[in-house]
Amino acid sequence: MRIHNTQNRRLIPLLAAALALSAVKPASAQDFDFEPVAPRVVSARLAGFGGPYCALEAGVDTLSTNPAALSYTKPEWSFARMAMHVSGPLFDLPSVFKSDDETDALLDLVEENNGVYIGADITGPLAVAKVDRNFGFGVYNRTMTVSDIPSLARATIYVGEEFLLVGGYGLTVWQKGPHAVSVGLQLKGFFQVFVTETGTSVSVVNTLTDLDFNGLPSVLSTGFGIDAGFLYRLGDRLDAGIVCRDLFTPVFSTQYDGIDGFLDGDKTSDTNYDRLPVDLTVGAAYRIPLPAHWSTISSWRVMFDYRDILAFTDPVYRNPVLNFAFGTELVLMEVVSLRMGITDAYLAGGIGLDLTICKIDLAMYGSELGLEPGRRPLLNMALSVAFEY
């Protein structure tokens, strides 16, 4: 561990953490605490207007919105999507990596910003999906890294790989005139491998800046889950939906002594059982009618969600204001898509280009890590290139 003279002001919280750790009895091979990581597919399109709205039919991205909306999808294939998402103090990090001492510069950033969160996800190159009326499936891989440093006394880093298989079915169960009701069910299974470290900010930052993951514990997580959805459609203008993501998603995690231990099957803990939290969301989407002679604007949609309705049942929960989301997408000449939204009380914006042979999407948006608006803001950017036909 490297502690420099300029870090003396940090000694008090670090020493307090060390004393606390020394007072804890050594963990046995059976003791293991790991918070499950929810699987996901990076989508710059959805990010551009505020996320996966529960009443939105969105082509192959419907696998991330509501399985009941699969009742209305048109046939579409997606091959070899490459989508990248990064988050953190993106405009401050270049100065950190240019400094003479990266560790000290990053710790200064932690103090100045009430903690630092740095994350990166890449979906692909394994990314194959198909949707057709009523049915959809997808197979994806995701590479991820997260460094969460909420204070000088405690920090966590993990780097991992994920494989996700998802399949859903939506069915219109009632229709009369312009009114229709659909329900949907989606199943998913995933496999994740991580190397992880939890400790003081200094030890974790040293690992991050040195990129030295040798000897860190590894974790194998496997899980399967069920999503359920309901969608009401009024003509071709209005959709209103409810989706329950992770209605039942158990996750089984086992710790190993490093990657070599994982490959050799030498586990250092019993297998832990946990469940991903249930996310119940309600919302609506409206397609704005346009005059027939408007050839420039191909379509215009607005969406609204209230997310994670059951959050108030938790002992500690976020301000309900953070659960509201609003977004819009304007398509020009069926080529350019302009997107804007509000999520977590922060703005989101994005643009998309349909080049026929591929689709390119770019998004930038804010999110909140804290329990109140403005407590721990996070800047996010996403870029994706997808071959969809």
Q: For the chain (length 389 residues), average pLDDT per consecutive 10?
A: 43 41 42 84 97 96 97 93 93 78 76 84 95 95 91 83 98 96 98 87 72 78 97 96 97 87 79 94 97 89 97 92 98 96 97 95 96 93 94
Using alpha carbons, select from 184, 254, 186, 247 the residue that is nearest to residue 219.
254
The pLDDT, as a whole number, for residue 114 is: 75
The pLDDT, as a whole number, for residue 96 is: 75
- Is residue 363 domain-resident? no
Q: How many domains does the chain have?
A: 1
The pLDDT, as a whole number, for residue 5 is: 45
d(CA 51, CA 350): 11
- Is residue 104 domain-resident? yes
Using alpha carbons, select from 60, 37, 55 the residue that is nearest to residue 384.
60
Please state whether the predicted TM-score (pTM) of the whole model is above 0.75.
Answer: yes
- Domain of 127 in residue numbering reads as 5-43+52-293
All residues at 6 or more sequence positions from 268 whose CB lies less than 8 Å from its CB, including other chains: 29, 32, 217, 255, 256, 257, 261
Are 60 and 83 in contact by the 8 Å Cβ rule? The answer is: no
The pLDDT, as a whole number, for residue 39 is: 96
- Is residue 375 domain-resident? no
- Is residue 362 domain-resident? no
Using alpha carbons, select from 68, 187, 65, 191 the residue that is nearest to residue 137.
187
102-112 and 201-210 are packed helices; what angle lies between their axes, rounded to 10 degrees?
130
* Pairing between β-strand 272-275 and β-strand 279-287 as defined by DSSP bridges: unpaired
- Is residue 352 domain-resident? no
- Is residue 99 domain-resident? yes
Are 68 and 184 in contact by the 8 Å Cβ rule? The answer is: yes
- Is residue 116 domain-resident? yes
The pLDDT, as a whole number, for residue 209 is: 67
d(CA 53, CA 72): 15
d(CA 238, CA 326): 15
- Is residue 98 domain-resident? yes
